[in-house]
Amino acid sequence: MADGGALCRSETQHGQPGQRLTLANGDSVWVALHGAHVVSWRAARRERLYLSPRNHWDGRTAIRGGVPVCFPQFNQRGSLPKHGFARNLAWTVGSSKVQDDEVQQDFLLASSPQTRAFWSQQFEATVRVVLTPGALTVTLLVHNTGDTPLEFSGALHTYLAVDRIEQVRLTGLQGQAEWDAVSDRHASAAAELQFDGEFDRVYDAALSPLHLHDGASRLEVSQSPSWAHSVVWNPGREKCAAMADLPADGYAHFVCVEAAQVMSPITVPAAGNWQGWQRLCVVQD
């Protein structure tokens, strides 16, 4: 514990072990060891991440909401389970750093008989969670411990909480290449994205941060250039109603804005390293 009241400690939630990061100003994060999954981020007196009330919390099923770590495969673009296996496995607690206005916690996953049942690659993965006043940074680090190149795709599949989806506007992608996965159409992104029905689009990542406007609240979303894409997703009313782990009105209370690698894999040379981050900052409340 630092002099200013920041701390990092073990805490069980929903019957699952995890780590609680807290700052003196009241901002906090809770990360489940299952999937190294950021489940909650409270900043400026508000929960900023959506979490489905229909999660199973069985230590095997992927958690719906928060920040799922999709690795080493995005969606079903390959032979691995959907979005890879990392979100379905238990990670271990790594090193931490605690200062007055910053708490950092690492979570670790290495190749093992469990992972080799899906993927033969030798690797060490780290999820680094950094909490600062009004901001959260999540970084995926991948170390290739094998003697051949490693290829992967993936995402930080962030569910951002919103009051009502119909009042949400997302800006910052104007002119970026856009693939609409619902209609299978390619275009250039509009200046402002709004949500009316199912929305599932992959964009070439912008150089500048995106801004999520939700009534009086505004959140800045940025990502490292090492992620080539940004994915924006909301299932809409009809698809949401068919999803067992979401309530019928769940779609109205979140939008996913993801730092991702979708169209082509990332290559990490033998003994090499890669990292990619996403940062969320409260701009206006």
Report the alpha-carbon distance of residue 280 to residue 211 in Å, rounded: 10
Please pick, among 34, 37, 83, 157, the residue that the annotation labels catalytic. Answer: 157
H/E element, 275: strand 273-284
> CB neighbours (10 Å) of residue 62?
21
Per-residue confidence (pLDDT) for residue 1, from 0 to 100: 38
Catalytic status, residue 220: no
Its pTM surpasses 0.75: yes
CA distances from 38 to 3, 127, 137, 216 (A): 25, 10, 11, 25
% of the chain beyond a pLDDT of 70 = 98
Per-residue confidence (pLDDT) for residue 4, from 0 to 100: 54
Highest CATH level, class, for 11-284: mainly beta
Sorted by where each begins, the domain ranges of the chain are 11-284
Which among 235, 260, 108 has a CA at the least distance from the CA of 182? 235
Catalytic status, residue 157: yes
Report the alpha-carbon distance of residue 254 to residue 158 in Å, rounded: 10
Which among 39, 4, 285 has a CA at the least distance from the CA of 159? 39
What pLDDT, in 10s, does the model give residues 186-215? 999 999 999 999 999 999 999 999 999 998
Digit-by-digit pLDDT tens for the chain (285 residues) are: 344 589 999 999 999 999 999 999 999 999 999 999 999 999 999 999 999 999 999 999 999 999 999 999 999 888 898 999 999 999 999 999 999 899 999 999 999 999 999 999 999 999 999 999 999 999 999 999 999 999 999 999 999 999 999 999 999 999 999 999 999 999 999 999 999 999 999 999 999 999 999 987 799 999 999 999 999 999 999 999 999 999 999 999 999 999 999 999 999 999 999 999 999 999 975
